[in-house]
Amino acid sequence: MQMIFAVVQDKDVARLSDRLIKAGIRATKLASTGGFLRAGNTTYMIGVEDSRVDEVLAHIKQSCRAREQLVTPLTPLGNQVESFVSYPVSVQVGGATVFVIRVDRFEQF
Ligand code: 2BA
C-alpha cells in the first residue's frame, strides 16, 4: 500500500473529490496553509494499493491546474525600518504538489 499526500488549490477540490468518489478511491481532506503564500490550500491523504497509484495520480493531474497569483512582499526602503515599498510579484501555484510514501502497515479496527 502507498500513501499519497497531494497539496492542491482549494479551487480544484470539488473536481478532484468528484473524480475520487466516482472511482471509489477513499481519501481524507485536510485544510492546510501554504508556508510561502500563507493562503489556504487543501491536502489530500489517499491510501491506495500499489496497483492504483498511477490511476490516482492521473485523477490529480486532470483535476488540478496551475494558476498565477500576485504576491506583494514588503521590502524595506533605504535604511529606515518604517519605510517600505511593495512590488507585486507573480508566482505560479500548482497544479498539485504530490508525495507518494510506502505504507508498512495498514489496519482498520
Ligand atoms: P505555498 O508555500 O504557499 O507556495 C505557493 C507558491 O509560491 C509555490 O507553488 C511556488 O510557486 C512559490 N514558492 C513557494 N516557496 C517559494 C520560495 N521560497 N521562493 C519563491 N517562490 C516560492 P507550488 O510549488 O505549486 O506549491 C503550492 C503549495 O504546495 C505550497 O504553497 C505548499 O503548501 C505546498 N508545497 C509545495 N512544495 C512543498 C514541499 N516541498 N513540501 C511541502 N509542501 C509543499
**Cell numbers standing for residue 102:** 510506502
Q: Is ligand 1 within 6 A of the CB of residue 94? A: yes
The alpha carbon of 89 and the centre of ligand 1 are apart by a number of angstroms equal to 14
User: Which pLDDT tens digits describe the chain residue by residue (109 residues)?
Assistant: 999 999 999 999 999 999 999 999 999 999 999 999 999 999 999 999 999 999 999 999 999 999 998 888 766 666 666 666 677 889 999 899 999 999 999 999 9
Indicate the residue type of 31: A
Of all protein residues, the one whose alpha carbon is nearest to atom 18 of ligand 1 is 36
For the CA atoms of 50, 56, 61, 65, the dihedral, rounded to the nearest 10 degrees, stands at -130
How many domains does the structure of the chain reveal?
Answer: 1
Host domain of residue 6? 2-66+94-102
Pairing state between β 74-77 and 2-8 = unpaired
Indicate the SS3 state at residue 32.
Answer: strand
Is residue 81 in some structural domain? no
What CATH number is given to the structural domain containing 36?
3.30.70.120
Q: Is ligand 1 within 6 A of the CB of residue 106? A: no
